Amino acid sequence: MTAKVLDGKAASAAIKAELAERVAALKEKGITPGIATVLVGADPASQLYVGMKHRQSEAIGMNSIQRELPADATQEQVEALIDELNADPSCHGYIVQLPLPKHLDTDRILERIDPAKDADGLHPTNLGRLVLNVNAPITTPLPCTPRGVIELLQRNDYDLNGKHVVVVGRGVTIGRSIGLILTRREINATVTQVHTGTVDMGQYLRQADVIVASAGVKHLIRPEDVKPGAAVLDVGVTREDDPATGKQKVYGDVDPAVAEVAGWLSPNPGGVGPMTVALLMTNVVEAAERAAAQA
């Protein structure tokens, strides 16, 4: 058996096509969804990532706002820029690109973001609302990567209702937040969370219908740890220098041999990564739609 590929590029392309129609509908009402990024310093990887987000958002008709500050920007300068975007009606959602320079208080900056404009869906207020809301419709931004994992499964006709999902990792971006969405009644999954400090992680993995591997440990998930036919989503990233080329090579959390055991497998790269960007744009379009409804 070879696993069915959960193709994030194809699923994200479908989402972006749907978003383009929603953006066009908003423009007919005189509203252009605006997505902004805040980049402090000139980290090449961050510049590349931010540039890609803007190209994709412009391609579907969104207004792209790029704000940059030098690496030695003060806390006050960054916070002033945050306040400016919070007050700007043309900006419906934005992100502060991480990591920030070490002299800045990252938590203080992120908490200053207007929760309604939190494109990442990781503002403490929005996470708190998600904790409190199990049944009612969600009207606040959701964490992008967890949402991308779930959308990738659903768009491949995978029903999570009643399934046992084992989440590997405890970071805020995925590990700590995905269980909040999966256990909502509309999705109705059962969630077990493990991490690198878990004793005999394999005993939990072998029970899983779905494994979300997000620990950031190269090839942590091995074929013998996977129940035959399970869905495995490879989210974690490890970068190592390749002696042969001198360039960095990206590895996922999942051993490639898992493809011979699993029923579904998302590649890394090319799986959840493209979904995260698509859902980031979705959060901003949804924020613009909410603003239009309140106007």
Mean pLDDT of all residues belonging to the chain: 96
The reply to whether 170 sits in an annotated binding site is yes
Instruction: State pLDDT tens for residues 216-238.
Output: 999 999 999 999 999 999 999 99
pLDDT score recorded for residue 264: 98
Where in the chain is CATH 3.40.50.720? Answer: 143-273
Q: Of the candidates 189, 145, 197, 143, which has an alpha carbon nearest to the alpha carbon of residue 165? A: 189
246 or 292: which carries more pLDDT confidence?
A: 292
Backbone angles phi, psi at 127, to 5 degrees: -65, -40
Instruction: State pLDDT tens for residues 19-77.
Output: 999 999 999 999 999 999 999 998 888 888 899 999 999 999 999 999 999 999 999 99
Compute the distance between CA of residue 119 and CA of residue 286 in angstroms, rounded to an integer: 10
The reply to whether 237 sits in an annotated binding site is yes
Confidence of residue 194 (pLDDT cuts 50, 70, 90): very high
pLDDT score recorded for residue 1: 66
Average pLDDT over residues 190-217: 97
Percentage above 70 pLDDT, the chain? 100
Contacts for 44 with CB less than 8 Å, ≥ 6 apart = none
Contacts for 213 with CB less than 8 Å, ≥ 6 apart = 168, 169, 220, 221, 232, 233, 234, 235, 236, 252, 253, 254
Q: Could you tell me which CATH number the domain at 143-273 has?
A: 3.40.50.720
Judged by average pLDDT, the poorest of 126-130, 188-192, 291-295 is 291-295
Percentage above 90 pLDDT, the chain? 91
Model pTM? 0.94
143 or 1: which carries more pLDDT confidence?
A: 143
- CA torsion through residues 152, 55, 175, 168, sign: positive
What is the enclosing helix (H) or strand (E) of 59? Answer: helix 44-59
CB 181 within 8 A of CB 147: yes
pLDDT score recorded for residue 45: 82
Where in the chain is CATH 3.40.50.10860? Answer: 30-114
pLDDT score recorded for residue 70: 97
Beta-sheet strands, E only, within the chain: 4-5, 34-40, 63-69, 93-96, 164-168, 190-194, 210-213, 231-234, 237-241, 248-252, 264-266
State the fold for domain 30-114: Rossmann fold (3.40.50)
Place of tokens 């744009």: 281
CB 39 within 8 A of CB 66: yes
Give catalytic residue positions: 53, 97, 120
What are the beta bridge partners of residue 94? 36, 118
Residue 295 has pLDDT above 80, yes or no: no
Count, residues in the chain: 295
Judged by average pLDDT, the poorest of 46-55, 92-101, 169-178, 282-291 is 46-55
